[in-house]
């Protein structure tokens, strides 16, 4: 079973025909088996699986305590969401990234037809802006792999000495190590660098980063690859990269 969640401004099911039209366009045709209302809206997928959208007419219970990242909706907008959807798919095939690509595309069929604020996959730790999530999901369906922007979550934290950090969540799901990247608060380009590193390792499963090696944004920049305990206090060690600017 694969999951996703949507934050909603309105407690309302989208038009089923519009959802199916979006599904056809995005390349995952499905057939309505039950209208939403007295229960979930359900669809049958072409491969024999199923997709279910359950509207919950209440705010998402975890929004107030969840982290936020660079792709998250405004915290006030997320907190103001009146309802949420629990999206469930059965019968998706393939490895984790393949299923996540399909699940994100299914979520996008609703986002494109309702007033959604945020979206996240079931394993996520932050909500992403709904429109961005749908755009990345559509791209993922087209190219066959969900982009790192929404496949992997990034949280931001303050660090000593006027520094900040980006921590990934989800790289381990795809067989890679998480990244912990620090930079000056006044620095520029750290997020692009973090996204680039995530894309690089996701797209090249044979690539390794030995401790003590260096990486950089330019030929001259030498950022030492370190491995340190996960700053959350949980999970495996993470790859730490300290940017000077």
68 pLDDT band, cuts 50/70/90, is confident
Q: Where are the domains of the chain?
A: 2-146, 152-242
DSSP string, 85-152: EEEEEES--SSHHHHHHHHHHHHHHHHTTS-EEEEEETT-SSPEEHHHHHHHHHHHHHHTS--HHHHS
33 pLDDT band, cuts 50/70/90, is very high
The whole-model pTM stands at: 0.92
pLDDT digits (tens, 9 = 90+) for 173-213: 999 999 999 999 987 888 899 999 999 999 998 899 999 99
């Amino acid at each position: 079973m694969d999951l996703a969640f949507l934050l909603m401004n309105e407690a309302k099911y989208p038009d089923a025909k519009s959802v199916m039209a979006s599904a056809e366009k995005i390349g995952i045709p499905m057939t309505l088996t039950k209208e939403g209302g007295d229960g979930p809206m359900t669809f049958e997928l072409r491969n024999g699986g199923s997709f279910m959208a359950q509207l919950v007419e209440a705010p998402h219970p975890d929004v107030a305590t969840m982290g936020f990242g660079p792709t998250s909706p405004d915290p006030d907008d997320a907190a103001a969401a009146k309802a949420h959807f629990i999206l469930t798919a059965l019968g998706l095939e393939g490895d984790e990234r393949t299923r996540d690509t399909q699940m994100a595309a299914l979520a996008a069929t609703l986002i494109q037809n309702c007033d959604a604020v945020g979206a996240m996959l079931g394993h996520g730790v932050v909500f992403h802006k709904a429109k961005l999530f749908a755009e990345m999901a559509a791209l993922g369906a087209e190219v066959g792999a969900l982009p790192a922007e929404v496949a992997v979550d990034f949280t931001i934290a303050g660090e000593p000495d006027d520094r900040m950090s980006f921590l990934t969540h989800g790289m381990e799901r795809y067989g890679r190590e998480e990244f912990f990247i620090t930079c000056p608060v006044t620095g520029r380009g750290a997020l692009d660098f973090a996204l680039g590193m995530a894309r690089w390792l996701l797209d090249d499963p044979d690539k390794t980063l030995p401790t003590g090696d260096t990486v950089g944004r330019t030929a001259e920049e030498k950022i030492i690859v370190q491995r340190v305990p996960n700053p959350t206090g949980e999970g495996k060690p993470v790859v730490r990269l300290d940017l000077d600017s």
